[in-house]
Amino acid sequence: MVRLFRSSAIGLVLVALVFAVVGLTGAVASGGKGKHHGHHGHHGHGKASITSEPFGTAPDGTAVDRYTLDNGKGMVVKILTYGGIVQELWVPDRRGHSSNVVLGFKDLAGYTDGFQQGYPTNPDAPTPNSPYFGAIIGRYGNRIAKGMFSLDGSTYKLDINNDPNSLHGGYLGFDKQNWDATPSQSGSSVSLSLHRISQEGEGCVPSRTPGCTGYPGNLDVTVVYTLTKHNELKIDYHATTDKATVVNLTNHTYWNLSGEGTGDIYNHVLWLNADHFTPVDSTLIPTGAIDPVAGTPFDFTRPEAIGARIRDASNQQIAFGRGYDHNFVLDRPNSTALVPAAKVFDPASGRKLEIDTTEPGVQFYSGNFLDGTLAGTSGKFYRQSDGFALETQHFPDSPNHANFPSTVLRPGQTFTSQTIFRLSTFHHHR
């Protein structure tokens, strides 16, 4: 891939190019869709369908299936019952050529490697799917400081699986469970409903974290993936509990709009609907502050290339995350509206990703810890920043910050959340 960020001036040229191509100067700033021409590729006139095939056996001995959702208009999504993992997502580029634009492994073994070596009780075993490629994340997405929180006078202690903190639900989070699946079709949309009951005490492997309690309450969780005729992948989350608990559910898909395995995402241009972010300490736990992004490398309120400021050694937050690994506070008129969260443009392919959500935040992660040791679906090693994640969420460590939106769920309440990923293309205008 040709580098476009050897100087800030060239970076500005790239952003200006995308402005001109997509008509972003006003449309993106106002949250509008901008100008684009859809392109459905060579398979744009079929019917929507959902099919399944065996995909191996989970570590607990249950059968794993892979479901293929096809909207008949050029977008195909492959989802595993194991971890609810979005394994592949195929969409056409501006020329109609389809590519897989998400990171993942070609077989189940890629996601479960480590269990055979005694994970999680064996501390020397590798962590299966350590980047969490494509997975449902729970009970609590992101980090909880020192793996501890208090609720209604009781203190709960969680797995310390990201020393010194708890990350993404612990050693055996939702990403490492095999879910019950129900496919369905309604008109031109196809859906896959995934369900499981998270038992009280999940989030605790006592041999690894002595004295841990895990999460309180039995949590009944349903996650529904829906592929629409508009090249949208909708994710709807629902959860109820029989005891007060904390819940933060998200999806950890990594994107590369040029195509999986094609190189880094520094040339992708990102817009975020966020005037503020939550700065972190050296262990990536929020300090509790909600700071403005203006004048920092975290200002994506106007579209900016991901790679333009990612190496800014003068910024402590960039240093802590080894790039971007931060929660952005979304600008929204109220606490429940579905609002634009992010837009990403790839000048090379002409692909465009838009994300809408009901969540108050989005974690932008620039793939900083991909280190060239994992080979993806294309058979190529993933190196640093070969993909990015935009995880819609409540804020990290919210149970320990009274000024953050609450993640407490009580009996009689229903946790609901929706995120929409919309794919399209834009064309060069001469």
Catalytically active residues are 252, 391
Q: Provide the token pair at 16.
A: 């200006």
Helices assigned H by DSSP within 192-247: none
Find the radius of gyration of the CA atoms of the chain. 21
Cβ–Cβ contacts within 10 Å for residue 299, how many?
A: 16
Which residues are paired to 144 by β-bridges?
166
- Cα distances from 198 to residues 79, 176, 214, 288, 419, in angstroms, run 20, 12, 11, 29, 22
DSSP E strands in 358-430: the ranges are 361-365, 374-375, 381-382, 388-393, 408-409, 415-425
279: amino acid identity, one letter:
P
Alpha carbon distance 61, 360 (integer Å):
38
Q: Tell me the three state secondary structure of residue 79.
A: strand
Inter-residue contact 271 to 301 (CB < 8 Å)? yes
Report the phi/psi class of residue 367: left, alpha or beta, with left for phi > 0 and alpha for psi in -120 to 50: left
CA dihedral 139, 142, 145, 147 (to 10 degrees): 30
Q: Say which residues have a Cβ less than 8 Å from residue 233's Cβ, sequence separation at least 6.
A: 75, 77, 86, 89, 225, 226, 227, 420, 421, 423
Task: Please state whether 231 falls in left (phi above 0), alpha (psi between -120 and 50) or beta.
Answer: left
- What DSSP character marks residue 311? T
